[in-house]
A and B are shown apart, each in its own frame.
Chain A
């Protein structure tokens, strides 16, 4: 500690405790408060199951962003770690059930703690798979992640004794010791389980970004070459972050195992791997909270829009493309920009500009939806009738309306952005 006295009059650069509170602790407290208040509103079963799915996806999407946003690693196979974590937890759940009849050490493990097993499973998978894949970032890493996802998913369908074949494996969560007096029977009790582990995941992953390893991950993302010249091995940094990220994905998998009581090899495949990429990217990979927002929005869309329209994946794709092209900060970046725009001086003209542009974008998007739904209704037979107005595919008027919205909106965007630019 002798250095401390050698530099008298040193400037303290650390943020003040007030700054720390508003930028770090306050958002977390608000988030936790919302989670605690929700049950007081008496949510329905459907609402609970949506909330539980959101909690799982929040942890999953944040774990994905440890790679993409924080360390610059683009993975197409992140569901592998989620899925293997879920399988680990699922086997644990079955072992707990077996132990509740014939005893054994598994009887000491509460089902509530199974996400720990999920974490271990995901981290172990990360340690094994990360070894060959973390040599390089960039295209080789992305391609290897894709290949491994294919490989593991295929293996999942082949090794029936471990993965349960197409039906997967299921278990019963109402066995063994109860933690916090929760039987985990009713979905409202599972909610508390999800809340607990979501908060652990969020806090844990946020804390990780503030460790020396987390910071060097960001350095590797920015400039892996220079990292070598400050004493760090970028390959080692990537590998360690990869293991941690696999662990948190596995934690989400463990939450999912307890929540759904079933896991299939499907969950290891490219489909959920793509979905987690969308959640993180659409939410905003540049911000810690971006993927959290993305998980909320996309899980909500998945459960609501998929009933409403067959074409929802198409809209999701459009949304993704629009964000990649025009708003690389994602939804969170937009929210943040909007909030800053209100606070800064001269807010009125800026808000008018944004309002006008958003309105034009919405009109365009309405045109896209209208045309898509009318086209879909040709084969499905269900006439698309927004607000009670039937728009049959046979009527030229339906198509004309869609085109008018699309072209009018597109023209307005062009016109407005040119006018505001000058």
Chain B
């Protein structure tokens, strides 16, 4: 009890001293100090808000060069591939609501779509975007599939074993593109072939751990033939034709993970 009284007196003394001290300071300085204090707190709160936005809305389009990512990007954004494309030298990026949703009423959450160039010299770019990805669309050229099967599988393997993808269980859509052409392979065939390739990679890559090719994790189940269902994250197979605008399955996939 007495202690409390003592404390009270002490506090009063201090507050007196404090006020006296404040009065000694010229008012301009005081205002500046208060201003700075306010500013920092506002900035602090803002930054917290920014970092708190855990729900990312980023979807990555990846895949080998020429698989049709850029066409797909503009299909999803504008509903048209305009006058065609050439090999990308830089990523295409945009935050928008999908073209097909334009007619819909109400507030729709926009998607941040990134088309990462497939040229192998530009691969390191993907790593920059992976940490913020909520979902990945891996585009495969179903027309020219066989000659590219191995390269595509290696690329996909690198993605599936990436630390970000494994830890955050980022879902991957294996999108077999260019199905408008009759000679395009079916998605079943493509899935099987790629699983086979990845099985081989698993054998050779588990042996090497390189400093460069950052295979952070291994995938699949020990002693079993690899299947995409063994992955920690979801791997779904779909078909699309960027050129003809048949992208329903891709849109559904995106909207499953980026709720409107």
B partners with A: no
Tell me the B residues contacting A by CB distance below 8 Å: none
Tell me the A residues contacting B by CB distance below 8 Å: none
